[in-house]
Structure formats: structure tokens, C-alpha cells
């Protein structure tokens, strides 16, 4: 990556990195990366449950037609579930009422979940010809926003209409990046999309930061990528790194959170640290809003 490109990327983050915004009843965070297999769903689940363990009311939204988050949280047959996110968004499109709590599942960890299944694929096609198509998810979230402190959206690994909906609905974005491959090209494309959404659809959208996942500090490649990402994006990379862990990989089939499956393991501790960093972002924003004018 050239020095000019590094400067350009750093300038983007200086412009769009979380600083101040108005206090909302809920902070909505989209976890996005158009590349699959970067630990995005595991991060969404573990961060959401981590926030719940800190006393926050958390809504997780599975916005991926594969339903990986739904399965990870203990519903192994998402295609048999109804209603799901697609049902709720279809009601918004049709201007039909949504009953309180409709479609929201309760997990033993304390988080709530709006599940997803293959029906989301058909919905994405429907959205193409829908009026205000980019704002349907935001309209749905406005019906439940006052019940939660955080809403986390697990985006599908693409930059299609559902991901645009998630970015339009979100206050901020967390970008999981696997520390095993050079992420520059994919990140540039995602950041361009975030820029367009911010300019055209959601002026409040910010980037909370990049979180490095599947970090294996024993390998030279992982160390080099880690250093490159931190050099390129400066302080806009979370200090917490999620290590490569067999235990973390197992939670998708064990239907347990990382905190229940391997409470004292390195991945659980890393997600606890990430949770604290995300909470501290909220405290910084609140402090900015309450500081007296000097």
C-alpha cells in the first residue's frame, strides 16, 4: 500500500470515526464485512452477550439469509421459524402493524434476537422495487428502539440491499477483519460504501473501528497484517484482538456463548475486553454531550 493510499485511508477514519452524536434510546451497531469467514457472526453474538452481561438490554438482528447467528444462538432450523426479519420488514413495506415483541426470540443469556432464514433472499429482491427501499430496516427498528440499549446487526457477507439497509439503520459500524489475509481491497470497497451511505442516506453513520479476529501471533503473516492494519488505520483499530481459538469455533455447533463454553479461555477474555471498549465509546460520547461549554 502506497503512502498516499495510507494517508487517504487514515483521512477517511479521521473524518468518520466515532466522535460525537446525539444520545439515542438505542445505539445501533452494524457488524459488516463483505468477505465471509472473518468471525463476524461470532463477534456479533459474543459482543451482544457481553453487553448483556454488563447489564445492557441488547437486541441482536440476524440480517443474513443463511441464518448463522440464529443457529449459533440455539435455533438450528431457522427455515422453520416464523415470523422472522423478512416477515417484519415485509410488514413495514405493506404498512401493516407489528405487535409488541412480534418475531423477537429470547435467549437464555438475556439477549433478544430477531431471527433470519432463507426468506431474506427473496426479500432482498423485493426491496429493489420498494419505495424508500434503503430505510425499511430503520423503520422497523424505530418500533422497538425504546426497549433496548444496544441493537447489533449481523450483516450478510455482501454489499447488497440488506447491508445497505443495515448501514442506513445504524449509528455506527464495527468491521471484523481476519488477521490472515491482506484486507486492503475489500476494506476500501466497504469504506466507499459507508461513505456513500453516510452522504446520501444516513449522515450520523460513523465507524467505531476495526476489530482483528482469528489472530495467531505465532505466524509471521499474522503479525505483518496486524502491523499493517494498525499502521494504515492508526488508532481506529480496537486494542482488543480476538485470538484464533478452537473453543471459539466450537460455539457455532454447541449453541453456547463463548462465556459459557470456555469461560476462562483466551477468546472469552478477548471478547470481554472488546465489550469494555465498546462501552467506553458510549461513555465518551455521553461525556462529550454533557461537558460544559468553556
Domain contains 294: no
Sign of CA dihedral 30, 257, 36, 281: positive
User: Is 168 within a domain?
Assistant: yes
Helix axes of 266-290 and 40-53: crossing angle, nearest 10 degrees: 70
Using the predicted structure, report yes or no on whether residue 292 has a pLDDT greater than 60: no
The answer to whether residue 292 sits within a structural domain is: no
60, 74 contact by CB (below 8 A): no
pLDDT score recorded for residue 288:
42
- pLDDT above 60: residue 12: no
Which residue would you say has higher pLDDT here, 4 or 279? Answer: 279
Residue 291 in any domain: the answer is no
**Radius of gyration, CA atoms only, the chain:** 18
CA angle in degrees (0–180, nearest 5) for 170-173-178: 145
Which residue range forms the structural domain that includes residue 142? 3-285
Q: Outline where 130-265 has alpha helix (H).
A: 136-142, 161-169, 184-200, 220-233, 246-254, 258-261
Q: Determine the pLDDT at residue 193.
A: 96
Quote the number of domains for the chain: 1
Query: What is the pLDDT at residue 263?
Result: 82
What percentage of the chain exceeds 70 in pLDDT? 86
Does the pLDDT of residue 229 top 60, yes or no?
A: yes
- Which percentage of the chain shows pLDDT scores above 90? 67
Q: The domain that contains 236 carries what CATH number?
A: 3.40.50.300
* Position 74 in a domain: yes
Give the least confident one: 76-80, 93-97, 226-230.
226-230
Edge-first strand order for the sheet with 206-213 is 105-106, 112-114, 58-63, 150-155, 27-31, 172-178, 206-213
- Give the pLDDT confidence of 19-74 residue by residue, as tens digits: 444 445 799 999 999 988 899 999 999 999 999 999 999 999 999 999 999 999 99
d(CA 135, CA 129): 13
**Burial class of 71 by CB neighbour count within 10 A (0 to 12, 13 to 18, 19+):** buried
83-107 pLDDT tens trace: 999 999 999 999 999 999 999 999 9
pLDDT digits (tens, 9 = 90+) for 107-123: 999 999 999 999 999 99
Please name the residue that has the C-alpha cell 460455539.
Answer: 251
Using one digit for the tens of pLDDT, what is the confidence trace for 164-183?
999 999 999 999 998 877 66
Q: Is residue 249 part of a domain?
A: yes
How sure is the predictor about 17, in pLDDT bands with cuts at 50, 70 and 90? low
Statement: residue 81 has pLDDT above 90: yes
Nearest-angstrom CA–CA distance, 26 and 58: 9
Amino acid at each position: 500500500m502506497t503512502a498516499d493510499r495510507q494517508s487517504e485511508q487514515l483521512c477517511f477514519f479521521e473524518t468518520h470515526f466515532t466522535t460525537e452524536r446525539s444520545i439515542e434510546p438505542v445505539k445501533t451497531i452494524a457488524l459488516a464485512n463483505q468477505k465471509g469467514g472473518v468471525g463476524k457472526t461470532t463477534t456479533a453474538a459474543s459482543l451482544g452477550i457481553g453487553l448483556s452481561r454488563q447489564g445492557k438490554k441488547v437486541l441482536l438482528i440476524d440480517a443474513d439469509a443463511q441464518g448463522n447467528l440464529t443457529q449459533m444462538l440455539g435455533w438450528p432450523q431457522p427455515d422453520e421459524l416464523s415470523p422472522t426479519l423478512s416477515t417484519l420488514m415485509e410488514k413495514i413495506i405493506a404498512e401493516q402493524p407489528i405487535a409488541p415483541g412480534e418475531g423477537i426470540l429470547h435467549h437464555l443469556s438475556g439477549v433478544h434476537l430477531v431471527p433470519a432464514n432463507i426468506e431474506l433472499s427473496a426479500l432482498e429482491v423485493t426491496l429493489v422495487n420498494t419505495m424508500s427501499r434503503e430505510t425499511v430496516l430503520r423503520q422497523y427498528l424505530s418500533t422497538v428502539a425504546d426497549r433496548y440499549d444496544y441493537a447489533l446487526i449481523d450483516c450478510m457477507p455482501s454489499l447488497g440491499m440488506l447491508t445497505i439497509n443495515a448501514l442506513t439503520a445504524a449509528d455506527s459500524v464495527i468491521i471484523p477483519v481476519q488477521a490472515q489475509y491482506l484486507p486492503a481491497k475489500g476494506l476500501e470497497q466497504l469504506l466507499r460504501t459507508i461513505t456513500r451511505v453516510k452522504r446520501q442516506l444516513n449522515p450520523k453513520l460513523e465507524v467505531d473501528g476495526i476489530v482483528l479476529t482469528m489472530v495467531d501471533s505465532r505466524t509471521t503473516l499474522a503479525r505483518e497484517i496486524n502491523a499493517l492494519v494498525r499502521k494504515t488505520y492508526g488508532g481506529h483499530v480496537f486494542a482488543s484482538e480476538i485470538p484464533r481459538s478452537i473453543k471459539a469455533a466450537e460455539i457455532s455447533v454447541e449453541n453456547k456463548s463463548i462465556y459459557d463454553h470456555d469461560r476462562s479461555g483466551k477468546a472469552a477474555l478477548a471478547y470481554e475486553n472488546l465489550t469494555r471498549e465498546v462501552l467506553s465509546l458510549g461513555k465518551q460520547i455521553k461525556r462529550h454531550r454533557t461537558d460544559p461549554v468553556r
